[in-house]
Amino acid sequence: MAEQQEPVIWMRPEQAPVGRRAERSRAEITAAAVELADREGLEAVSMRRVASILGTGAASLYRYVATRDELLDLMTDSTASEYHLPAPSGDWQADLLTLARQARQIMRRHPWLPTMVMGRPTLGPHGIDLLEHVLDVLADHPADPACKLEAFALISGLTALFVQNERAATDTSATRRSAYLRHVAAAGSHPRITALLAACTSDGNPGDRFDVVVVRALTGVLG
Amino acid sequence: MAEQQEPVIWMRPEQAPVGRRAERSRAEITAAAVELADREGLEAVSMRRVASILGTGAASLYRYVATRDELLDLMTDSTASEYHLPAPSGDWQADLLTLARQARQIMRRHPWLPTMVMGRPTLGPHGIDLLEHVLDVLADHPADPACKLEAFALISGLTALFVQNERAATDTSATRRSAYLRHVAAAGSHPRITALLAACTSDGNPGDRFDVVVVRALTGVLG
DNA sequence: CCCATTCGCATACAGTGTTCGCGAACCATG
DNA sequence: CATGGTTCGCGAACACTGTATGCGAATGGG
């Protein structure tokens, strides 16, 4: 009778207590999907392709996952297990910066992660562990709980922004973008842009602003 | 013979100099797509639906746009025309904060914009005007040109993060999220989260941290 | 007037997420 | 050991999607 499936996948049991046993596990499916996304990008992760990698039929995946988006959630949360979470040192700024640096590394490993983190933020078991760690680091900090949550979201979000930005600069899209910028500069109606393009070609690139921006943004939310 | 279409839509002429005249304009198509996205979300913007709104066939849209993603680019850039760009006041922090506040308002008007800005940053004619204005505000600022570009990207990106966050808090997804959080808290293995949930229900929500975070992040990139 | 060129669009193709239904596998119970 | 109730695997189908192709209609310069 009463169906009422649990709305979040993490609250549903992975295996039913009775009936035929599942031949695969969520972790197995997630790993295949992550590997595929790492290799060919997020839009290559279709139910049929993931299924064929696992050697099963596409419809079988729906025994493990209610929808494709849930599979993506599994992928996102699985990357949160790649963090190394040392005990708090007492300097919360340093500890959170360490976390942000790790996030940057992880997102570089998984090019699809920034899109995921920004467009579909998810808290699974591993994300929960990460949140617990952040709260532990901020245990003695006298800020509203809501602000601490905001800080938690800001670390991954801001890092995702940075990684995406530095990837867009090395992309093939950068060529098109700069081509249009040069076109605009040549038109002459935007003097500041013209000047900026002239200055950019001569200068070397400046240092990495990641650490500074992250720390300052964090001190912004945490007061 | 030599085809070699311009890679960026903004560099292609909207109307061919010879031959039959187009019955619609890019602006007309863009407006229809934006209105549809405002009403039903980004994934409702399919070529067929936009075409049917305009009363044309789906394939006709490809005379105006090379691909769906280009249509999305048109939509994104069109929202950049909603900014009001007053002359620089001399206080660049105040001027950029004004811009960020406008971005926030615009992104609240168009719920699909944050996703777009973060996942597919685009610079069209209106975006160029915005960039020119930012560079004008920062004209006397002694920072690397690359840093100013980074600051420009940060304003929209960070604002998108904020808007998306505040929308996720009012969403139906918030119910599911907090349900899972309560589940974790009840399990007892994450004491910080348990404590945070207990504190959150009693407290009122704190003030809006948007202005502070934006300003501090900007001073982070601009030194 | 003619003709090169562009526009509108019906049709088709490959691919997508998801649902349905059925046979096979499993475990607890009789 | 047999019998149910339950779950699993999955072939087939449905409603979509973005996009390519080809052809008739419109257009304006020579």
Q: In this predicted model, what pLDDT tens digit does every residue of B27-52 receive, in sequence order? A: 999 999 999 999 999 999 999 999 99
Are B153 and B183 members of one domain?
yes
Q: Which two tokens stand for residue A79?
A: 């990357």
Q: What is the pLDDT of residues A36-72, one digit of tens each?
A: 999 999 999 999 999 999 999 999 999 999 999 999 9
Which chain B residues are closer than 8 Å to A203 by Cβ?
144-146
Checking if the pLDDT of B147 tops 60, the result is yes
Longest dimension (CA), chain A: 73
Domain-located, residue A4: no
Q: Hey, are the CB atoms on B132 and A179 less than 8 Å from each other?
A: no
- DSSP annotation of A17 reads S
Rounded CA gap, B157 and A160, in Å? 10
Which chain A residues are closer than 8 Å to B146 by Cβ?
200, 203, 205-206
Residue numbers of the domain that contains B30? 9-79
Domain-located, residue B200: yes
Q: Hey, are the CB atoms on B203 and A144 less than 8 Å from each other?
A: yes
Are B159 and B51 members of one domain?
no
Q: What is the pLDDT of residues B169-191, one digit of tens each?
A: 888 888 999 999 999 999 999 99
Nearest C-alpha neighbor of A118 from the set B58, B130, B202, B167: B167
Q: Which two tokens stand for residue A26?
A: 């969520």
* Type of residue found at A53: I
Question: Residue A131: how many CA atoms within 13 Å on its side-chain side?
Answer: 27
Are A88 and A75 members of one domain?
no
Domain-located, residue A156: yes
Burial label for A98, CB within 10 Å (0-12, 13-18, 19+), is middle
Helix A125-137 vs helix A92-109: crossing angle, to nearest 10: 150
Q: Hey, are the CB atoms on A180 and B8 less than 8 Å from each other?
A: yes
Are A62 and A88 members of one domain?
no
Using CA coordinates, name the residue in chain A closest to B205.
Answer: A146
Checking if the pLDDT of B1 tops 70, the result is no
Are A114 and A213 members of one domain?
yes
Number of independent structural domains in chain B: 2
Are A168 and A151 members of one domain?
yes
Q: Hey, are the CB atoms on A161 and B213 less than 8 Å from each other?
A: no
User: What is the Cα B97 distance to its own chain's centre?
Assistant: 16
Domain boundary among B17, B46, B79: B79
A85 part of contact set with chain B, CB < 8 Å: no
B217 part of contact set with chain A, CB < 8 Å: yes
- CA dihedral (B125, B129, B134, B135) positive or negative: positive
Rounded CA gap, A98 and A90, in Å? 13
Read off the pLDDT band of A4 (50, 70, 90). low
Selected residue of B72, B144, B167, B215 to mutate for chain A interface (largest A Cβ count, 10 A): B144
Q: Alpha helices of chain A — where are they, by DSSP H? A: 26-40, 47-54, 68-79, 92-109, 113-119, 125-137, 145-170, 173-187, 191-202, 210-222
Q: Which two tokens stand for residue A28?
A: 């197995």
Q: What is the pLDDT of residues B7-23, one digit of tens each?
A: 899 999 998 889 899 99
Report the percentage of chain A scoring pLDDT > 90.
87
Are the CB atoms for B155 and B103 separated by under 8 Å? yes
Average pLDDT over residues A194-202: 88
Rounded CA gap, B154 and B219, in Å? 11
A131 part of contact set with chain B, CB < 8 Å: yes
Q: What is the pLDDT of residues A137-193, one digit of tens each?
A: 999 999 999 999 999 999 999 999 999 999 998 888 889 999 999 999 999 999 999
Residues 6 or more apart whose Cβ sits within 8 Å of residue A16: none
